[in-house]
Amino acid sequence: MQDADERLLRAVMALLTAKGITSAEEIAERVRVTDAASPGQGARMVARAWRDPGYRALMLQDGTRAAEALGIPMRGAPPLGVLENTPEVHHLVVCTLCSCYPRAVLGYPPFWFKSAAYRARAVRDPRGLLAEFGTHLPESVRVRVVDSTADYRWMVLPLRPAGTDEWDEERLAAIVREGDMIGVTQVAP
């Protein structure tokens, strides 16, 4: 079924190349650069913020500059907003209108994030949705769903799990997963 669209892609690329607009090499390089982004980048930011109150403050105030401070390329990327989870408030990120995602710090969005089920349910049944990911929040915690509708891209600064006080940054970063930074899961040590 995808064959027709693969032919369409090849035809469009051939035309754009003939017109000097782009080239196969340029596309391949862009694929390479895009593939290099991964949730590991966001995880480093989270780990740094957990250990360094100054960095945490920067991250909450200006996510883009915080990412750049760790060498994550952000030129041309949309502004990055960071949502801090607390014992009282748990954030969940969605884009109900399409699939806006903090790609510069987390890489490509996962399949589920782009699905109709996720986009529809997040703003109306976030707790049922979280249960699908094995996440169950206490009644006392408020869920705040952040619907990415405009220029910002949002990531969650999740709660640091108990029992990790002595861990160094690398060890902390290794336990922070993509889902933790979108809000569908909580970090487990």
Partner 1 sequence: MLAAGARVRVRDDWPETRGPCHVRTPHYLRGRTGVVVRHLGDFPNPEDLAFARPAERRPLYHVRFEQEPIWREGHAGDEVQVEIFGHWLEEA
Partner 2 sequence: MTAARHPGYPLPVDENANQTPPEDRPRARHDLGGVSRFMCEPVDTAPHALTAFDRQVDALRQILGMKGIMSVDELRRGVEALTEAEYFGLSYYQRWMRAISATLLRKSVITEAELRNTLSEMP
In whole angstroms, the minimum distance from the beta carbon of 106 to partner 2 comes to: 14
Find the binding residues for partner 1 in span 50-69 (CB under 8 A): none
* Among 23, 38, 98, 115, the one annotated catalytic: 98
Name the token pair of 163.
């029992």
> Contacting partner 2 (CB under 8 A), which of 51, 84, 110, 159?
110
Question: What are the start-end ranges of the H helices in 19-113?
Answer: 24-36, 39-51, 53-61, 63-69, 103-106
CB under 8 Å, gap of 24 or more: what pairs does 163-168 form? 163/189, 164/50, 164/189
In whole angstroms, the minimum distance from the beta carbon of 83 to partner 1 comes to: 8
Concerning whether 38 is annotated as a catalytic residue, the answer is no
Count of alpha carbons within 13 Å of 1, Cβ hemisphere only? 0
**183 contacts partner 1 (rule: CB under 8 A):** no
> Under the rule (CB under 8 A), what is the footprint of partner 2?
2, 5-16, 19, 21-22, 26-28, 30-31, 34-35, 76, 89, 96-99, 108, 110-112, 114-125, 129, 132-133, 142, 147
